[in-house]
Structure 1
């Protein structure tokens, strides 16, 4: 008589479980977001994101030092300017907050891989990701500002440009501008598939980028759409993207998987602020084991097909992984 299969044989102890584990999470997988702000002596916690802070430039090194010590090899810099206007002109300023932060970090850690978020929402007084005319976000006029912003970030020393604005043609506009300026070797991590998600609330607190009118549904994707994600990604690949981002991550693991099956470029997942805040809130109540949940969540993103994970948990997760070695 044929016996039943004993799958548990390969689960008997930690050694065998580690040997047959199909997906592994490493600090090398993480991109750590850091928020730079104007001012002096500032390390101000974002109320909706426990453990995430705004840093003035004179204290920015403290955070970068911690990230490097934890084993993080890549960071992405977001900036909150002092002055905003309708066109987000501070985004492309040579002495802009992100540009100065990039230069400072690269001077201290030349081998740390520094990415620059390329969007206008933090820099516009209306909070939208492009230029607004007659109450509408206009696409083509926004592209020039985004392209010049990318060039200024590259000039400051950014290793990679990560545009998150979701304007049509933004990858092509940025690629052409970088190439014209001589930055042909600077890659683009495109936020190719960015949904109009309810999970972004805490980030908008951190970046001071809540739209002052309307919403972003005319340029960010409908959460109900999956086939459209492939169309968006294919367009960005054709326009010159070197890597593709899916944002958010947890609620869109099926989209990460679809992109992994369809494209041969590296895929990044953004474990966004709302996902982070929910874990932190539940952990503070004692309802979950934070370490176990975070590592399971990050493993899930890798299993879905992500090569890289942009996550606010990066420092803690890197330390936990090191302790578990």
Structure 2
């Protein structure tokens, strides 16, 4: 029998209905960079057209994106040097800038999908993604910090935790911490 796939291409409506891949704004994740202060919107030098926003501007940016059909946002902190330390304690401090931003986005846009970055480097005084002792990364000790971060993000309202570090066993460790604390519905994207 003769195959006649042309019938599937006879109109735009049919082509759109059966096409294999559809890419829409709702399929995208928009990165947002957060900085302390008010009314702040400064361009990231290494990424022209991308800005760091204070929380008040962040909310306006999320609203603009939502109006365009973007629904998922990956938040990245830009932390003041004075708040950084060897153990990245600012990353899970209750009233930190990042946790405040997560809470604010979810409060004003509960339908938004908030994705959070779990990594030590934005918070560590040495810039490493792990705790360093005598020139070595302490993997298991770092996992504890990453678990605290992930738990703080979940408490703040994160929908998806996205570890970007390079520690062995991080996804399993974070999953256990989240599950043990009744955050079984928080996803991990790694």
Q: For the superposition of Structure 1 and Structure 2, which TM-score range results when normalised by the shorter chain?
A: 0.7 to 0.9
Distance (whole Å) between structure 2 residues aligned to residue 62 and residue 87 of structure 1:
33
Which position in structure 2 is the counterpart of 1:51?
Answer: 49
Higher helix share: 1
Displacement of 1:41 after TM fit? 2.0
* CA contact 1:81–1:96 (8 Å) conserved in 2: no
Query: Which of 67, 70, 73 is equivalent to 2:65?
Result: 67
1:188 aligns with 2:185: no
Displacement of 1:21 after TM fit? 4.1
* CA contact 1:92–1:148 (8 Å) conserved in 2: yes
Distance (whole Å) between structure 1 residues aligned to residue 172 and residue 65 of structure 2:
32
Which position in structure 1 is the counterpart of 2:104?
Answer: 104
Normalised by the length of structure 2, the TM-score is: 0.87
Distance (whole Å) between structure 1 residues aligned to residue 13 and residue 68 of structure 2:
27
Count of residue pairs the alignment pairs up: 182
Structure 1 gaps of 5+ residues are: 1-6, 191-325
Which position in structure 2 is the counterpart of 1:37?
Answer: 35
1:149 aligned counterpart, secondary structure: helix
Q: How does 1:107-256 map to 2 (within 5 A)?
A: 107-190=107-190
CA deviation vs aligned residue, 1:242-287 (integer Å, no higher than 9, x gap): xxxxxxxxxxxxxxxxxxxxxxxxxxxxxxxxxxxxxxxxxxxxxx
Structure 2 gaps of 5+ residues are: none
Displacement of 1:48 after TM fit? 2.0
CA deviation vs aligned residue, 1:271-317 (integer Å, no higher than 9, x gap): xxxxxxxxxxxxxxxxxxxxxxxxxxxxxxxxxxxxxxxxxxxxxxx
1:115 aligned counterpart, secondary structure: strand
Over the residues paired in the alignment, what is the CA RMSD in angstroms? 2.1
Distance (whole Å) between structure 2 residues aligned to residue 93 and residue 84 of structure 1:
12
Q: How does 1:262-301 map to 2 (within 5 A)?
A: none
Distance (whole Å) between structure 1 residues aligned to residue 97 and residue 14 of structure 2:
47
Query: Which of 7, 12, 25 is equivalent to 1:27?
Result: 25
Displacement of 1:164 after TM fit? 1.2
CA deviation vs aligned residue, 1:83-123 (integer Å, no higher than 9, x gap): 21112111111112221100000110111111111111111
1:117 aligned counterpart, secondary structure: strand
Displacement of 1:25 after TM fit? 0.9
Normalised by the length of structure 1, the TM-score is: 0.52
Which position in structure 2 is the counterpart of 1:279?
Answer: none
Distance (whole Å) between structure 1 residues aligned to residue 10 and residue 78 of structure 2:
49
